[in-house]
Structure 1
Amino acid sequence: MLKTSKFLILSWLSVTALYTYAQNPAADPAEISIDLAKEKAPMKPVWAWFGYDEPNYTYMKDGKKLLSEIAALSPVPVYVRAHSLLVTGDGEAALKWGSTNAYTEDANGNPIYSWKIIDSIFDTYVKRGMKPFAQIGFMPQALSTHPEPYRHHWKPGDNYSDIFTGWAYPPKDYKKWGDLVYNWVKHSVERYGKKEVESWYWEVWNEPNGYWKGTQQEFFKLYDYAADGVKRALPTAKIGGLNIAGTGSKGAQQWLNAFIKHCTVDTNYATGKIGSPLDLLSFHAKGSPKLLKGMVQMNMAPQLNDIATGFRIAASYPRTKNIPLIIGESDPEGCAACGMATNPSNAYRNGTMYSSYTAATFARKYELEDEYGINFKGAVSWSFEFENQPWFFGFRDLATNGVDKPVLNVFRMFGKMSGSRVLALSNRMYPLKKVLDSSIRGARTDIGVLASKDKKAAAVMVWSYHDNDLQGPAEPVNIKINNLAVKTVIVTHYRIDDKHSNSYEVWKKMGSPQNPTAAQISELEQAGQLQTLGKPRQMQVKSGSILLNIELPRQAVSLLKLDWK
């Protein structure tokens, strides 16, 4: 009894792992080593990018709340990408649908521009210090070569191709299309100022190998006229594309290579000159979970291979090797609005599996950046919120009814990492090649690490991830941090697991209410915030090093934050 009490009092910092190991001599602690003197590259906030299908959620109650939280967690401006910014309609929000009514025509076919709804979307971003990754799409009804049917009414379980209605077709007049883009960018400069709009990124359309009902050359023509409109309004604006889907496939690679070639040596459809503006290159990357005998099994190999392919292609051209590369959508799978009821493999989304997957994949994205030597700017997590939907319905979102899910706390952890990435090694981290070949399917979990160092701080992110959604005992992890040039540090341990930073587990213990009380909602909101494991502690640095011994449950994520004066 005395030993147990002493264990509880001393908490997490060194006794936890030693006590567990003593009770289980067969335990094999994971060994992690951090060298703060060996800087690898800047700790770029490539995670500070988010996106979603339904633009009208932006200015709704829970949308504003979540955007405020996302803006607050990042030390740099967050970029936001949304579909359907030029779609015709009354601004009603629905799954896989949004509209702004930016373009209509009078009885004589003359353009009528209306920026009210787009302004309300971009105002919401800019007021929070966020930046649009402004998507030029989709086709207004009055410009579409196939205007009917136009408004779809898709719901989970329906055929996904039902969403591709009149908005997905080429324009009947490319000059009017280019003038629409010109007037939009011109209006943005007038409203927000030249300097602000110069900090945005503009991109044309989305997934032309799926969301486009024209030919490849018609898409290149669409791009040329849009890019010309952007540059006529603001020559210093940054424009690119093409946000291709399934980047690892041969078809997508053909698109990507043809697009780069078009922007480099082909005749521009809008100007008649050679080439087209290309200030950024973007593509998509998705994983592929499945249900295996009632168990969710993730697969990050397709997602990371998509990224590797995009990086490799960009690195192979002088035109694209050094321009910003943006993974326009980077997720465990492809349909954010498909819930668990219709897609049982999406059951990973509410709990800590989504959190540990996110930590493990972002670490590999940095590894791929190092390998290919390209200008990796950002990876858009296509995950936001779905207004007025059932609690924890299984959408791929960061929050449900204003309550943050565990995955959002991974981004809060990333927000505490700054300065430079430093050398971090774990004897339990799967090699990148192994993950690219077969994801994380071995007998043991991936206990991986990502570390950073700034002038007066360091941070170590550690996760325990496996593709199989199974529970398992916590494992001891020994973390040695070397080359600390100070005498003392304050160590704060942030944790995401079944008991910390986890609104979903709290909701389940409440009985999974679909109409929680005000008191329950308050409790859920608190549970959704990033929490610490124990209190911050002061530690003495001995011979330039400290040793942290923790226990890490399966699918958990820890961030060990060191601060000094």
Structure 2
Amino acid sequence: MEKVTILQQAEAAFRDNWKFCIGTGRLGLALQKEYIDHLKLIQEDIHFDYIRGHGLLHDDIGIYRELTLEDGSVQPFYNFTYIDRIFDTYMELGIRPFIEFGFMPRLLASSDETVFSWNGNVTPPNDYDKWYDLIQAVVSHFIERYGLEEVLKWPFEVWNEPNLTNFWKDADKEEYFKLYKITAIAVKDVHPDLQVGGPAISGGADHWIKDFLDFCENESAPVDFVTRHMYASNKAKKVTPELCYQDLFENTMMLDELKTVREMINASPFPDLPFHITEYNTSYSPINPVHDTPLNAAYLARTLSEAGDYVDSFSYWTFSDVFEETDVPKAQFHGGFGLIALNGIYKPTYHLFSFFNKLGSEQLHRDENMLVTRREDGSIAIALWNLVMDKGEGFEKEFELDLPVQFKDVFLKRQTIDEDHANPWNVWKQMGRPRFPDKTQVATLKDMAQPLRRTARLASNNGRLKLSFTITKNEVSLVELIPVKDETSTYIGIDDSLIPSYSRD
């Protein structure tokens, strides 16, 4: 048994920058009802500040069009019909866009290389003057519609993972730097206080960050923040037409990478720049079943606990399985990135975020398996987790906590997800993996997606409380210690012993 004694004094502040931003599939999906239903659920329970996704300039939103005039000449037409509908909905739900400029509109593309089933064009513009004008028109429209004070709060990120040939033609660094500079100048020419940054690279290419910041210094290219992505999966060991399987690195790998990049920024010509992780997850594949499992939640718990030491935000990819990078999802559970599965079913990782949302701002203790916090009202909220990547049964961990409480009578509430609770993916397997479950099956999956809940009443001793916990394989638990306001004495003649089977309290 591991024994932990927690002092009265707070170690540090626990920052909530883990909920600064959340990822989404391409923005055009926001025109679907189920997408909006899922976003409403997320915002009601967790409430992220920003949302980032691909496809702002993709043709399904239709911002960039060209009109042929009577004299045969062609002029650009900027159509904001759909993006207004999408961003209006975001704003109504209390979430702001974290803008990603991309991908290239077909009429501006220099060639036909695309990515994803929805054919996002990944080539430079065929006319950089038209690209500049497009960026100016888009940003100016946002200010006209939502006001300068609001849009000054929106980060503008240039492109997505240009270090990969999948996302930028030939992964041409110099061409990306050209795109970045022209885009950043276009944004700043609308208003100098707008925030613009990049390079939005994938992991494993951090030399791009040094080169990018050196370029911005040497070329006087505006830069207000640095962005990067972060995934923890190894190369695929098996890929089928519908699924991808990968091993995961140790869960400290991402934290080590963040520390390294933060030090790199600090040593650059721009040492005080904010650092945003605009995508992260375990696997980078949208068809990896690990995303549907309790392991995914247990793996990422330490990241939520510690990544804020190094970054200003880190954005989980993504909030919903309404997502189409490899075509329309072909089954209820298909390895999608989302916190919420199709049909509004909460995955284990959803509860991880919901649990962290109930933590306090004072950090009393943190280690590789727990985070103990105190809330403003003096109540205690504890996140516990037990990551196990080995196969088989067992692997329980036992903890004994000795911690301070500011009240005598304590109501303990514990919510738990693990292999046997809030694991709808396993229930779905027991059902025979129905691809398109009927309403009764969906109702069962929703029921079984709820955490195990336990309660108790305890008494502190001289301002201290001792608790013992057994944490099962891939469990994540939230433990809340809340003061009891006992009103039993206000009931005249109360006597529970008169109820059959019960004793007097």
Of 304-313 and 390-399, the range deviating more from structure 2: 304-313
**Counterpart Cα distance in 1 of 2:91 and 2:322:** 21
Q: Which residue of 2 aligns with 1:212?
A: 168
Decide whether aligned partners of structure 1 residues 538 and 403 sit closer, same or farther in structure 2, where only a CA change above 3 A counts: same
Which amino acid is the alignment partner of residue 314 of structure 2?
A
Decide whether aligned partners of structure 1 residues 171 and 290 sit closer, same or farther in structure 2, where only a CA change above 3 A counts: closer
Report 1:224-235 matches (<5 A).
Answer: 224-235=181-192
Q: Which residue of 2 aligns with 1:438?
A: none
Matching residue within 282, 286, 291 for 1:332: 282
Of 58-67 and 514-523, the range deviating more from structure 2: 514-523
Report 1:431-442 matches (<5 A).
Answer: none
Decide whether aligned partners of structure 1 residues 515 and 335 sit closer, same or farther in structure 2, where only a CA change above 3 A counts: closer
TM-superposed deviation, 1:48: 4.3
**Counterpart Cα distance in 1 of 2:41 and 2:482:** 24
TM-superposed deviation, 1:200: 1.8
Q: Which residue of 2 aligns with 1:79?
A: 50
Q: Which residue of 2 aligns with 1:385?
A: 321
**Counterpart Cα distance in 2 of 1:322 and 1:540:** 47
**Counterpart Cα distance in 1 of 2:453 and 2:372:** 19
TM-superposed deviation, 1:311: 1.5
Of 539-548 and 46-55, the range deviating more from structure 2: 46-55
Matching residue within 223, 245, 252 for 2:180: 223
Q: Which residue of 2 aligns with 1:360?
A: 302
Q: Which residue of 1 aligns with 2:6?
A: 34
1:526-559 deviation per Cα after TM superposition (whole angstroms, max 9, x unaligned): 3334x34313x33322122212212211111011
2:18 maps to 1:46:
yes
Matching residue within 49, 55, 59 for 2:31: 59
2:71 maps to 1:130:
no
Decide whether aligned partners of structure 1 residues 563 and 189 sit closer, same or farther in structure 2, where only a CA change above 3 A counts: farther
TM-superposed deviation, 1:56: 2.2
Which amino acid is the alignment partner of residue 312 of structure 2?
K
Q: Which residue of 1 aligns with 2:267?
A: 316
Matching residue within 336, 345, 354 for 1:395: 336
- Say if 1:43 and 1:452, in contact at 8 Å, map to a contact too: no
Decide whether aligned partners of structure 1 residues 295 and 197 sit closer, same or farther in structure 2, where only a CA change above 3 A counts: closer
Which amino acid is the alignment partner of residue 132 of structure 1?
P
2:100 partner SS: strand
Which amino acid is the alignment partner of residue 377 of structure 1?
D
- Say if 1:73 and 1:411, in contact at 8 Å, map to a contact too: no
Decide whether aligned partners of structure 1 residues 418 and 181 sit closer, same or farther in structure 2, where only a CA change above 3 A counts: farther
**Alignment root-mean-square deviation, CA:** 2.6
**Counterpart Cα distance in 1 of 2:410 and 2:193:** 45
2:480 maps to 1:561:
yes
Decide whether aligned partners of structure 1 residues 60 and 302 sit closer, same or farther in structure 2, where only a CA change above 3 A counts: same
Which amino acid is the alignment partner of residue 378 of structure 1?
S
**Counterpart Cα distance in 1 of 2:186 and 2:415:** 47
1:305-324 deviation per Cα after TM superposition (whole angstroms, max 9, x unaligned): 432322121222352x3332
Which amino acid is the alignment partner of residue 52 of structure 2?
R
TM-superposed deviation, 1:230: 1.8
2:94 maps to 1:140:
no
**Counterpart Cα distance in 2 of 1:281 and 1:470:** 42
**Counterpart Cα distance in 2 of 1:53 and 1:142:** 23
**Counterpart Cα distance in 2 of 1:502 and 1:359:** 16
2:445 maps to 1:504:
no
Q: Which residue of 1 aligns with 2:222?
A: 277
Q: Which residue of 1 aligns with 2:503?
A: none
1:360-401 deviation per Cα after TM superposition (whole angstroms, max 9, x unaligned): 3323424xx2xxxx5x22111112313663111222222222
2:397 maps to 1:475:
yes
**Counterpart Cα distance in 1 of 2:43 and 2:32:** 16
Matching residue within 190, 205, 216 for 1:263: 216
Which amino acid is the alignment partner of residue 103 of structure 1?
Y
**Counterpart Cα distance in 1 of 2:18 and 2:395:** 32
Q: Which residue of 2 aligns with 1:516?
A: 437
TM-superposed deviation, 1:469: 4.4
**Counterpart Cα distance in 1 of 2:392 and 2:21:** 30
1:87-119 deviation per Cα after TM superposition (whole angstroms, max 9, x unaligned): 12xx3xxxxxxxx12112223332110112222
**Counterpart Cα distance in 2 of 1:335 and 1:117:** 28
- Say if 2:295 and 2:387, in contact at 8 Å, map to a contact too: yes
Please report the TM-score for the alignment, with normalisation by the length of structure 2: 0.84
TM-superposed deviation, 1:208: 1.2
**Counterpart Cα distance in 2 of 1:500 and 1:151:** 37
Matching residue within 202, 208, 221 for 1:245: 202
**Counterpart Cα distance in 1 of 2:245 and 2:231:** 20
Q: Identity of paired residues, percent?
A: 28
2:21 maps to 1:102:
no
- Say if 1:360 and 1:465, in contact at 8 Å, map to a contact too: no
1:58 partner SS: helix
2:177 partner SS: helix
Q: Unaligned 5+ residue runs, structure 1? A: 1-28, 92-99, 155-162, 268-274, 340-345, 430-447
**Counterpart Cα distance in 2 of 1:189 and 1:465:** 46
1:257-285 deviation per Cα after TM superposition (whole angstroms, max 9, x unaligned): 11111222x23xxxxxxx22222111111
**Counterpart Cα distance in 1 of 2:151 and 2:438:** 43
**Counterpart Cα distance in 2 of 1:557 and 1:54:** 30
Which amino acid is the alignment partner of residue 527 of structure 1?
M
**Counterpart Cα distance in 1 of 2:426 and 2:199:** 39
Q: Which has the higher contact order (CA 8 A, sep 6+)?
A: 1
**Counterpart Cα distance in 2 of 1:363 and 1:261:** 32
1:485 partner SS: coil
TM-superposed deviation, 1:304: 3.2
1:410 partner SS: helix
Decide whether aligned partners of structure 1 residues 490 and 200 sit closer, same or farther in structure 2, where only a CA change above 3 A counts: farther
**Counterpart Cα distance in 1 of 2:285 and 2:237:** 19
Q: Unaligned 5+ residue runs, structure 2? A: 239-243, 486-505
Which amino acid is the alignment partner of residue 322 of structure 2?
F
